[in-house]
Structure 1
Amino acid sequence: MRDGTAAGEPVEELVEELLTASRALVGIAVHSIGAAPTDVTVAQHRLLVLLAAHGPQSVGEIAERLGVNPSNASRHCDRLQRLGLLSRRRSPDDGRVVRVEVSGPGRQLLDAVTERRRADVRRVVDRMSPEDTAVVVAALRGFNEAAQETGQDEWPSLGRSATGAGDAGGRPRPELEALQ
């Protein structure tokens, strides 16, 4: 593990380059969602991604995973259900529990957004030399491994403090909700 304290080590330069790259990737993500066949917000897309990745969830589980209030998650689910992108079903194990899941059209939307995002990233990568591409692949593998070792459960949910109550002062962060 590196601590970045050795003289001349370019850790700060790497951090700045990663921040710049993350801004570009967020821009690509937002652009790809904007090109979806059905108009959804970034937050609604995130909810669909969560359901596709983790399977059917209750609204409470969705809210917890996204770090938002259950009423907020419920409103997003209502809109996505009206659009036909998700469905609700009673749990076969407990009829009191309603599970939310991605519908066929919801999966088609996710596939379309992913393909658009892949094409947008490819346009950027195609402008790089093969040598730079190989270096970036190796560097990103190392970064991704280090990120997994850190454990995402150590990171607060987007838009919330480590306690889940909001920002450091306990206030909600609505300006960050769009990225969820």
Structure 2
Amino acid sequence: MTDTETLSKLRRVITKLARELNATATGEGLTPTQASVLGLIAFRGPLGLTELAQLEGLNPTMLSRVVGKLTELELIQRDPNPDDLRAIRVEATEAGRLLHERVKLLRTEAIGGCLDQIPEESAQRIIDALPALEELARALRATHS
């Protein structure tokens, strides 16, 4: 097992990377949280609000604000849940899906540009670590499911 200091460093690096990638969405007029919620809805939707809150790790008040803003911007739409007409499901609109694709492209370009700026051997080590990082992401998801 790896020592606590190394694990803390890994956590900090992952957090910094996520923060920097989230900042790319602000150029599209969304907060990082709004971009994250839109991305989840575009990728997995339609979703019920309870499921969305659990997946995104947001409290109901914050989720309500974010969903309200995304609805106001016409990036998502609210629809009655056909299984329970008292409940609401949210789904990305065409504009929401297009914006989500732009944000993904901006993030991909940002990573590509940064990989081009670091030494080639460092960039290759990062690429080579992708399978292990994907395993880590799956293990983290499994512990929170």
Where on the TM-score scale, by shorter chain, does this alignment land: which range? Answer: 0.7 to 0.9
**5+ residue gaps, structure 1:** 6-10, 157-180
TM-score by length of 1: 0.68
More helix by share: 2
Counterpart residue identity of residue 27, structure 2: A
Q: Find out whether 1:19 has 2:12 as its counterpart.
A: yes
Report the Cα distance in structure 2 between the residues aligned to 1:46 and 1:95, rounded to whole angstroms: 26
Q: 2:63 aligns with which of 62, 73, 76?
A: 73
Q: Find out whether 1:83 has 2:73 as its counterpart.
A: yes
Greater displacement, 64-73 / 46-55: 64-73
More strand by share: 2
Counterpart residue identity of residue 143, structure 2: E
Instruction: Tell me which residue corresponds to 1:52.
Output: 42
Q: Is the 8 A contact 1:35 1:116 kept in 2?
A: no
> Following TM superposition, by how much is the alpha carbon of 1:81 offset from its aligned partner in structure 2, in angstroms?
0.7
Instruction: Tell me which residue corresponds to 1:4.
Output: 2
TM-score by length of 2: 0.82
C-alpha offsets along residues 41-90 of structure 1, whole Å, 9 cap, x if unaligned? 11111111121222111222222222222232122111111110100112
Q: Is the 8 A contact 2:42 2:96 kept in 1?
A: no
Percent identity, aligned pairs only, is 26
Q: 1:126 aligns with which of 111, 116, 123?
A: 116
RMSD (CA atoms): 2.5
Please state whether the residue corresponding to 1:40 is helix, strand or coil: coil
Instruction: Tell me which residue corresponds to 2:86.
Output: 96
Report the Cα distance in structure 1 between the residues aligned to 2:65 and 2:92, rounded to whole angstroms: 16
Q: Is the 8 A contact 2:75 2:93 kept in 1?
A: yes
**5+ residue gaps, structure 2:** none
Report the Cα distance in structure 2 between the residues aligned to 1:15 and 1:70, rounded to whole angstroms: 30
Q: Between Structure 1 and Structure 2, whose CA radius of gyration is higher? A: 1
C-alpha offsets along residues 102-154 of structure 1, whole Å, 9 cap, x if unaligned? 11111111111111111111111012343332222112322322332x24242
Report how many aligned residue pairs link the two structures: 145
